[in-house]
Amino acid sequence: MAALQLLMMVPALGSFLFTFGTGVELVRFVSFRALFLQPGTGPAQHRTDAAPHLQWEAALRDPKILRPLMVDVGLIVLFILQHSLMATQQVKHWTRSCFGVLQRSFYVFCTALTLQVGVSIWGTKMGGED
């Protein structure tokens, strides 16, 4: 029985380490993003190609604004869906039957994975790649 409990600690510890790494990545992403947008060019520059007083209708027709806005909304929806789906009784029952005491570790791992995907896509988009 003690061996089984020790064996269960391995995936729980892996989930903890992945989640900790995600937290570190999120803090780095939020805190230092302006400094690391373009290495060697200094802090982020203001865009000069956008008109100063665009109306919302014109702005939402501009693909340079609409595409990043849709990506942002999609990433937020992905995070909300992950949380909402994993909060349903069916998913809780399934994870409890599959993972037992590791149910919470599985939930935290999935949350961290969703956050990693969001940060990596958002980071790529902010880095200026098209």
For 23-55, how does the pLDDT look when each residue is reduced to its tens digit (9 = 90+)? 888 777 766 655 555 444 555 454 555 554 556
**Mean pLDDT calculated for residue range 65-85:** 85
What is the residue extent of each domain of the chain? Answer: 97-129
Residues 6+ apart with CB under 8 A from 116: 22, 25
Neighbours of 102 (CB within 10 A): 19
pLDDT value of position 56: 65
| Rounded Cα distance, 16 and 112, in Å | 10
Cα–Cα distances (Å) from 58 to 61, 65, 66, 72, in that order, read 5, 10, 10, 19
Work out the mean pLDDT of the chain and round it to a whole number: 77
DSSP state of 47: P
Rounded CA Rg of the chain: 20
